Amino acid sequence: MVKAEERDDMTWYSCEGCGLMFDVEDDAKRHEERCDAKEPTYLQ
């Protein structure tokens, strides 16, 4: 899932798999479809 997060008056979309952040939701979704990191390591 792409996670939306507001920061500095902007909305960022982060890949839950690897934590990469995008300012365009479509970019985040596209990344996530190809992302190999299925488990969110930063939440462990």
Summarize as ranges the residues that interact with Zn ion (CB under 5 A): 15, 17-18, 20, 35
Per the structure block, which two tokens stand in for 40? Answer: 């969110």
Least Å distance between CB 8 and Zn ion? 22
Least Å distance between CB 29 and Zn ion? 11
Burial of 28 (0-12, 13-18, 19+ CB in 10 A): buried
DSSP summary character for residue 22: E
Least Å distance between CB 41 and Zn ion? 11
Residue with smaller CB distance to Zn ion, 18 or 29: 18
